[in-house]
Structure 1
Amino acid sequence: MSIDTHTERRRPAAAQTENTTKRAKRTRVTPRRMWLFTAIIGIIAIIINIPLLNSILVSFKPDGEIAQNPLGLPTNPTLDHYANVLYASGYDFPKFFANSAMIAIGTVLLVLVIAIPGTYAIVRLRFGGRWIIDGASGLRLLPAIFFVVPFFILFSNMGLEDSIPGLIIANTFLNLPLAIILLAAGLRDIPQEMEEAAAIDGAGVFATLTRIVLPMLAPTIVAVSVLVFIFSWNDYLFALVLSTSNATPVTLGAANFITSTGIRWGDISAASFLSTLPPLLFAVFAQKYLVSGLSAGAVKG
């Protein structure tokens, strides 16, 4: 009687294992299906990047060929447009590039300095309550143009107009809600027992944050850094309103090729392509951490 009872208890586990194996076989992706998915994703990627690809082609075409054949391959490739961008008088591309780099890097550093301890206080120390995360989410949904006029008036009175620190503060304000949301999701994935063990060993809040939490939160921090860098580098609206000459970034500097005599499409395309290289390379090299950081909090066991 006991043997039969033991056998009956084992049957559900065996049946569950068999069902799991069958589901795994049914959901297994075949090589043919994988190639199909890859081809579809590749076609979508090409369609999305057609403007970028066309801009690269235009940057290698002479001016006359741009007007005659704007969408085709260049028949007489030239580097004149890149020479104009880098060495033309009245267009200081190295200065614009340096301004963009200082604005983007400064924004990343300031966002991390504010967001990491702030998010830790919200999630772990229960500072402020859930409404802060909800408020950050709502603030991120507002269009950037909503804040342009208040920032212009404020910075004009504070003497921060047309300055690198002013644009860093403006971009920090725009990107801080996104950083708080992503860091909060990453913090919730870290087992709190490790922090409690550190507290038992005598570690304070600062030591726990720097020695326990930050190493485990590194993928999310990298993801936040990449996104904030890209968004700050690509900012055009605040640069247009808050800068005139001293703090002009590359996104706004390309507009200098729109003159009274016409639009120099080749030079604009060359400047645009050069300006996309830093965030593109940054994202490619940090792709592993970017994916893992963005997926933080997406799966709950």
Structure 2
Amino acid sequence: MRRPAIQALRWLVFGLAVLILNFPVIATLVTSLKSEAEISSNASLVIENPTLDNYAAIFGMADRFDILHFLMNSLVASTLGSALAIALAFPAAYAMARFGTGRRWLLPLAVNLRAVPLIIFAIPIYLMYQQVGLLDTRLGLSLIFCLINVPLVLVLFTSAIAELPIEIEEAARVDGAGTFRLILHVVLPMSLNVVAASSVLAFIYSWNEFLFGLMLTTSRATPISVGASFFFAASGGGVRWGVAAAVMILATLPPLLLGLVMYRQIGRSMTAGAVKG
């Protein structure tokens, strides 16, 4: 009898933890399914008359705020920025893990720079972008996302590559493989889990970036993190909470679903190097 009771108590604690941690998301989803009148009269999580009018209203504003355009900007910039960060960080991580190149100073420097508030870099980057014509472009946004994510993926790759058995690489070198071929055909296939997890994390961080999206774009390349804020007062007569909530749900779905699908790989990559021996 004690074992079922303990099991039930455990699931109860898990359920409460999930509810508490996800309460903002649940409240936003519930609000998005209520009419404006119900939002004003019913602040609970109970929906009396569910409606999709708020979602329909979003797409009805396409002449002023095209949410599909914002979503596409974020998708392109986040994907390209993540891919560039992976392409830059992987060979650098290999050099650090296998040859010790820059491991004592470059790796700590990159990590510490990422810890600095990004607002410090905003003005110089804006001025540089203005000079080279990258303002309000998807390419410019992608380059910023790449720079933001390089420190993260560099740390993950360095730890993961250091754990790989070096004997396989030595055997490949005996067979005549050069460094480039070794990285591409031996190390990369053995690191696919951490590459996938790093790509997902880089994509999520890029998708959620607001500061540079606000400063470096105006209309053509506006990401969803910035574009979502336009809907808060889209009617010009105060905040339409139902519409705002619906926009936030739509903006949250891509990274949320991606994180749920890849959560196992993310967990493994974050603990890579924690236990060794």
Query: Which TM bucket (shorter chain)?
Result: over 0.9
Query: Could you say which residue in structure 2 is the equivalent of 1:110?
Result: 84
In the TM superposition, 1:101-250 aligns within 5 A as 101-250=75-224
The aligned amino acid for 2:222 is: T
- Unaligned regions of 5+ residues in structure 2, if any? none
Root mean square deviation of aligned Cα: 1.6
Would the alpha carbon gap of residues 54 and 184 (structure 1) be closer, same or farther in structure 2, given more than 3 Å must change? Answer: same
- Unaligned regions of 5+ residues in structure 1, if any? 1-29
Q: 286-295 or 237-246: which moved more?
A: 286-295
User: For 1:175 and 1:71, how far apart are their aligned partners in 2?
Assistant: 39
- Which string of whole-angstrom CA distances, capped at 9 and with x for unpartnered residues, describes residues 113-140 of structure 1? 1011111122213323421111122122
Q: Give the TM-score taking structure 1 as reference length.
A: 0.86
Structure exhibiting the larger radius of gyration computed from Cα positions: 1
Where relative contact order (Cα < 8 A, 6+ residues apart) is larger, the structure is 2
Query: Could you say which residue in structure 1 is the equivalent of 2:267?
Result: 291
The aligned amino acid for 1:206 is: F
User: For 1:183 and 1:33, how far apart are their aligned partners in 2?
Assistant: 40
Q: Identify which of 19, 26, 47 aligns with 1:46.
A: 19
Tell me the percent identity.
37
Q: Give the TM-score taking structure 2 as reference length.
A: 0.93
Would the alpha carbon gap of residues 35 and 202 (structure 1) be closer, same or farther in structure 2, given more than 3 Å must change? Answer: farther
User: For 1:298 and 1:36, how far apart are their aligned partners in 2?
Assistant: 31
1:42 Cα offset (Å): 3.0
Q: Secondary structure at the match of 1:160?
A: coil
Q: Secondary structure at the match of 1:262?
A: coil
- Poorly superposed stretches of 4+, deviation over 6 Å: none
User: For 2:105 and 2:37, how far apart are their aligned partners in 1?
Assistant: 58
User: For 1:258 and 1:163, how far apart are their aligned partners in 2?
Assistant: 24
User: For 2:218 and 2:251, how far apart are their aligned partners in 1?
Assistant: 19
Q: Secondary structure at the match of 1:124?
A: helix
The aligned amino acid for 1:45 is: V
